[in-house]
Structure 1
Amino acid sequence: MSQDLKDIEDSITQSSLWETITKFLDQHIDFGSDISISLLDVLVVITAILVTTVVLRIILKIITRNLPAENKGKFNVVYGYFRWLVYFVILILTLNSVGVKVTAVFAASAALLIGVGLALQTLFKDIISGVFILVDQTLQVGDIIELEGKVGRVEEIKLRTTRAVTIDNKVLIIPNHLYLDNTLYNWTQNGTLTRESVKVGVAYGSDVQLVRKLLIQAASTHEEVMSQPEPTVIFADFGDSSLDFKLVFTLRDSFKAQHPKSDIRFEIDRLFRENNISIPFPQRDIHIIKSQEID
C-alpha cells in the first residue's frame, strides 16, 4: 500500500514538474501589439538554425572538395553571404510555423525590401555568375576569351568581375553576369594551340599550284608557326575579280596572332612579286550600247 502511495506521489511530482516546465516554456514575450513569441518558440528556432548550420557545412564540403585552394577562399566569401540569407529565410519560416505573425514585419518593410532588391539585382547576378564560374571551371587564369567582340587574356577572376588584358595592354573589367547573358568563346580551353588563317586573292590566269606552294612557304618559314600540323591552303572561291585562297596554319600563342599574321602577309607579298603573281583590285567592265535614232 505504501509503495502505491509513493508511486502516486512520484507521478504527481513528475506531472507538476512537467506542468511547471510547460508553463515556463509557454511564457510569451511581446514585441509590440502584433508580434508575440514564447520560450518554446525560441528553442524551436535555435534547433532549426543548428540543423541548418550542419546541412550548409555538408553542402559546402561537397561543392568545394574539387576546387583549388585559391578558389575555395573566394567561394567561402560567397558562402558567408549566402549562409546569412539562408538563416534569415529559415528564421522567418520557422517563426511562421510556430504561429508567430511575421506578416506585420514584412508589411512594415516591404517598400524598403523592394528598393534594396532592385538596387542589388545586378550585384546578385554578378555574384551568382562568379559562383558558377568557380564551380564549373568555365574560366581559368591565363585563358584567352572573346566576349562581345572583345578579346583578352584572363588575369584575375573575382566574385563580381573578371579582369582581362587585351593585346593592346588595355584592361577589361567584365561583370560576371555577362557570361550568363552572352555567348563566351574560350579560345584556349582545349589548349594554347589555335588555328589561324590569312586570306588572299590572285588574278585570274595565275598558276594556282605555284600560288599554293608560295603560300605554304610563307607560313612554314615563320618561327611562330607550328610544323605539325602542317600549313594548308584552301581554294576558297572564284571571286568577282580574283581567285580566293585561304592559308591555314597553327600558332603556339593565338593571343599574339596579329604579329605573325602580319609577317606572313609581308612574306606573301614579297614572294608574289618575285614570281610575278599579281593581287588584283576589284574591276568592273562597263559596256555602253548606243541606241540608233529612228527617223
Structure 2
Amino acid sequence: MEYFKDIMSTINRFLSRRIIDTDNIDITIGTLLTIIIVLVVVTYVLRLVHKFVTAKLPEADKNKFVSIFNFLKYLLYILIVITVLHASGVNLTVLLTASAALFVGLGFALQYLFQDIISGVLIILDQSLHVGDVIEIDNKVSRVFEIRLRTTRTLTRDDKVIIIPNHVFLTDSIYNYTQNHNITRESLKIGVAYGSDVSKVTQILEAVAEGNEDVLKTPKAFVQFDDFGDSALMFSLNFYITNSFGAPGIKSQMRYKIDTEFRDNNISIPFPQRDVHVYQHSPFQHSRVENSTKEWGLGDD
C-alpha cells in the first residue's frame, strides 16, 4: 500500500512541477497535460461528428459545412485552452493585460483576415452564393467551384482561376447569373443594309435561333427591330439558354449561321459609311511687292 502511495506522490510531484512560475502565472506540467488530453479527446469527438454529418449531406453542401466546422473547431480549441488555464488557477486577466499591445497589433494586421472569415460564414449561412453559380465581377464572368472560409475560387471562361476575398461579396455589387435559376437571356446585335426586307430578316434570325440545339424552345426566342442606325437597320436576336457560362461559344455558332443565311438570301451587312463634304475656297492670291529706297525717300548718301 505504501508502495502505491509513493508512486502517486511521485506522480503528483511531477505533475505539480512548474513550467512557468511568476507572481500571476503558474503553469504546471499537469496543466499542460490536461490541455493536451482534452484537445485530443475533443478532436476525436469532432471527427466523429464531422464524419456522421457529412455522410448525410449532399455533395454541394459538404464544402460549406466543412468551412463552418473548421471555424467552430478552432474557436472551440481556444475556449478549451482558456478554460483549462482558468481552472488551473492561472490569472488570465494579468495575462491578457500583458498581451494587450500584442493583441492590438495582431488586430490591425488580421482585421482583413477576420473580415473575410466572417463574410465567408455569412455567405454560407445566407445561401447567397453556391458552387456552380455563374457570376460577373470586375467585368469578368466566371463559375464558382469552391467556397472556402476566407476566399471563394472561380474559374473564368479561359480556364484561369480567380481567388476572391469573401468580403468582396458583401461590400461590392456582384452579378449572379444563376441566383434564381439556370436560365438566362442572351442577345445578338445585327445590322442589315437599308432597303433589306425586314420581315425576311426577322424570319431568318428566328429560324437560326430555333435551329440551335443550345437555345431553349421555351421561352421562345424573339427578334426586335431596335433602331435606324447611321448606316444600318439595327436588330437584336434575343434567346434563352441554360449554359450562360458557354454563351460566347453559342453566340459564335449563331453568327456563323446568320452570315451564311444572309448570303444565301442576298441580305448584306453594311460597313459604317460617312459622307465627306469638301468645301473649296478661292485660291490664295499672292502679289510680290518690291520696295526700294527711292520709294521710301531714302537716297544714297
Q: Bin the TM-score by the shorter chain.
A: 0.5 to 0.7
1:166 counterpart (148, 156, 161): 156
Match of 1:263 in 2: 253
1:234 counterpart (224, 240, 251): 224
Q: 1:136 to 1:86 in 2, by over 3 A?
A: farther
Match of 1:145 in 2: 135
The 5-angstrom pairing of residues 42-57 of structure 1 reads none
SS at the partner of 2:145? strand
Match of 1:78 in 2: 71
Aligned identity (percent) is 48
Equivalent position amino acid for 1:221 in 2: G
How big is each residue's C-alpha offset from its partner over 1:116-135, in whole Å with a ceiling of 9 and x where there is no partner?
11211111111011001110
Separation of aligned partners in 2, 1:203 and 1:186: 37
Tell me the CA shift for residue 86 of structure 1: 8.0
1:207 counterpart (173, 197, 203): 197
SS at the partner of 2:180? coil
Separation of aligned partners in 2, 1:88 and 1:279: 74
Separation of aligned partners in 2, 1:85 and 1:287: 80
Equivalent position amino acid for 1:281 in 2: F
SS at the partner of 1:257? helix
Aligned Cα RMSD in Å?
A: 3.2
Tell me the CA shift for residue 217 of structure 1: 1.2
1:217 counterpart (207, 219, 236): 207
Match of 1:180 in 2: 170
Q: 1:159 to 1:186 in 2, by over 3 A?
A: same
Q: 1:195 to 1:234 in 2, by over 3 A?
A: same
Tell me the CA shift for residue 204 of structure 1: 1.5
More deviation, 79-88/280-289: 79-88
SS at the partner of 2:237? strand
Equivalent position amino acid for 1:138 in 2: S
Separation of aligned partners in 2, 1:284 and 1:72: 62
Match of 2:111 in 1: 121
Match of 1:7 in 2: none
How big is each residue's C-alpha offset from its partner over 1:269-288, in whole Å with a ceiling of 9 and x where there is no partner?
11111111111111110112
Separation of aligned partners in 1, 2:79 and 2:223: 59
State which structure, 1 or 2, has the greater radius of gyration over its C-alpha atoms: 2
Tell me the CA shift for residue 293 of structure 1: 7.0
Tell me the CA shift for residue 108 of structure 1: 4.1
1:133 counterpart (118, 123, 127): 123
Task: Mark the runs of 5 or more structure 1 residues left unpaired by the alignment.
Answer: 1-29, 37-63, 91-99
Tell me the CA shift for residue 82 of structure 1: 4.6
Q: What's the TM-score, normalizing by structure 1?
A: 0.67
Tell me the CA shift for residue 232 of structure 1: 0.5
Task: Mark the runs of 5 or more structure 2 residues left unpaired by the alignment.
Answer: 1-20, 26-52, 84-90, 286-301
Match of 2:31 in 1: none
Separation of aligned partners in 1, 2:166 and 2:92: 39
Equivalent position amino acid for 2:256 in 1: F
Tell me the CA shift for residue 238 of structure 1: 1.6
Tell me the CA shift for residue 80 of structure 1: 3.5
